[in-house]
Chain A
Amino acid sequence: MKLLSLETATAAGGAALVIDGVVIGESMTTKDRRHAETLLPSAIELLAQAGITVQELDGIVIDVGPGLYTGLRVGIATARSLAMASGSGLYSLTSLEVLANDERLGTSQTVLSVLDARRGEVFAQYFTVENGQRFPQGEPRVLLPGDLIEEMDTRPQSLVVVGDGGVRYQELFAHLQGVEFAPVPLFPSPATAAMMVERGGVTKQDIPSDVTPIYLRDPDAVANFKVAAPSRLADS
């Protein structure tokens, strides 16, 4: 398959081109909040280097979060519009599963993917291993790092924490036995996402416009409103 993968869920964004299971190129930048400027030019350059057109792609792969909201919308609007305008397939993955499936982690241990959600919170999800494959446990969540660690006290197993959220709050994990921190990756990689599609098991999205970001939080105004005037919100 010819797959163009787009990544904008975190401060590190970029694109990757994977053809028949070979990573032809991956272009990443950590210029925060510049995804809208760099994403499409990166993709165009990768396609040009490989000498293929967007119409020749079998699929566009997109990380739908959880992550930074504005970045997610840039990536998803780009991916959906590319797919719909070119007729390519569209495949979506979550940021936390892309992190957990990074080949640099190996497949021997349970992984806890943790991304910095800003405002003192993290996005987190566990992934176990069976027959060399990773399986998500539960849904992606947003929570305080302290709450995540509190519930880990009752998980007597060795695991690897991966992602910039784990690194940021590493000292909070210090008292836990059997917890390792993966030095890389800090962020989900678009090449990994494309390889996951290549290996199968990621469903093609038949209706591209149904692919939307995973936010996990209400907009602030709605959250404040629910606290201040729950009845008015229910009426509206």
Chain B
Amino acid sequence: MTKEMILAIETSCDETAAAVVDEDLHVLSSVVSSQIDLHASFGGVVPEIAGRAHVELLEPVVQEALEQAGRSIRDPGVVAVAVTTGPGLVGSLLVGLSGAKAMAYAWGVPFLSINHLEGHLFAAQLESDSLVFPYVTLLVSGGHTMLIGVHGPGEYRLMGETIDDAAGEAYDKVARYLGLGYPGGPAIDKLAAQGDPTAFRFPRALPGENLDFSFSGVKTSVVRAVDRSPEINVADVAASFQAAVVDVLVAKSMQAVERIDATAIVLGGGVAANSLLRERTTTAALEHGVQCALPSLAMCTDNAAMIGAAGWHRFRVHGGDDFSIGANPSLVLEMERA
């Protein structure tokens, strides 16, 4: 018997994405149309440019995802349509939301309102059948830096989060300051490989038992160091900055793992593509004797397959959402604060 399928759509920021995910969370297709080139000249995502690109790309991307799954927009064969309704850029969210509702209605299937962050929490399950609850997810991107205890599907405890900049935001700001372009994460990661991570001792914020993060201090220290010596070795700065950020991320992740006796550490979000973070998390997990789940690079960054995985969970425990639901740019993920 053929498996049931969900179509998922994600347009919360600057990627127009659609995917088809089956009931066993197998990804039948995952199409991501990135707008990075459109925003690169501006050093960051420009909301109006993102909105314009989404409305051009939405249905072509959906058609491509359905066709790769062997279906079509007239004969989709899906049991529901899942879409990100927040958090994100409101003008971007509204495009995917409007299209998803209309398709779900025309096909006579439920529409599912999905929190983007919950998508990131489900991304690991698309690639790892062996994850056992509870585990800790370090969700780290341009918009978020959170340590979340995942005790079951939909059972989350927020263990720590950034009190100022997100880690990815710090990467982008430092990269811009160093003249490395946008997006900053890959640029710094690449340059850091040629630098000395011990050249500068940038601060590791909020040490001790606290699992919250702060990245504004390290960003300011980088700026001061560069201002002091304009002839500075940029590769050394990049490597030392990256070492400071990753040190804190890995140390607090492992504290979180110990605190809830987790079986695994899972990375999610765009910064999870960072090579040093992946390497150091793998090593630390080995030392702690826990599993380490590193989603593929495609699953770290924004995609619709993860929204499909979260969609299956919502479909099973909640059913369809009302067509009057709007986008919520500051949508909060329901979590206990641990």
B residues less than 8 Å from A213 (CB atoms): 52, 55
- Closest beta carbon of chain A to B304's beta carbon, Å: 15
Interface residues of B in 73-120 (CB under 8 A from A): 73-74, 76, 90-91, 94-103, 105-107
User: Is B55 in contact with A233, judged by CB distance below 8 angstroms?
Assistant: no
User: Is A70 in contact with B103, judged by CB distance below 8 angstroms?
Assistant: no
Interface flags, B150-162, vs A, CB<8A=1, else 0: 0000000000000
B143 within 8 A of A: no
User: Is A80 in contact with B91, judged by CB distance below 8 angstroms?
Assistant: no
C-alpha gap A87/B107 in the complex (Å): 11
Interface flags, A104-139, vs B, CB<8A=1, else 0: 000000000000000000000000000000000000
Looking at A93-101, A187-195, A219-227, the stretch in contact with chain B turns out to be: A219-227
B residues less than 8 Å from A34 (CB atoms): 326
A142 within 8 A of B: no
Interface flags, A59-84, vs B, CB<8A=1, else 0: 00000000001100111111111101
- Closest beta carbon of chain B to A56's beta carbon, Å: 12
Known contacts A44-B323, A219-B46; A77 and B105 CB within 8 A of each other: no
A37 within 8 A of B: yes
Known contacts A73-B94, A74-B98, A219-B49; A84 and B326 CB within 8 A of each other: no
User: Is B95 in contact with A73, judged by CB distance below 8 angstroms?
Assistant: yes
Known contacts A40-B105, A212-B55, A219-B49; A77 and B41 CB within 8 A of each other: no
User: Is A54 in contact with B106, judged by CB distance below 8 angstroms?
Assistant: yes
User: Is B55 in contact with A73, judged by CB distance below 8 angstroms?
Assistant: yes
A residues less than 8 Å from B40 (CB atoms): 236
Q: Which of A74, A75, A209, A215 contacts B52 (CB 8 A)?
A: A215
Known contacts A73-B54, A85-B73, A219-B52; A40 and B94 CB within 8 A of each other: no
User: Is A78 in contact with B99, judged by CB distance below 8 angstroms?
Assistant: yes
Known contacts A37-B325, A40-B105, A82-B106; A221 and B48 CB within 8 A of each other: yes
Q: Which residues of B contact A (CB under 8 A)?
A: 40-42, 46, 48-49, 51-52, 54-56, 58-60, 62-63, 73-74, 76, 90-91, 94-103, 105-107, 323-327
**Would you give 12 A-B contacts (Cβ < 8 Å), ordered by A?**
A36-B326, A38-B324, A41-B324, A79-B102, A80-B59, A81-B102, A82-B106, A85-B103, A209-B59, A220-B48, A222-B49, A236-B41
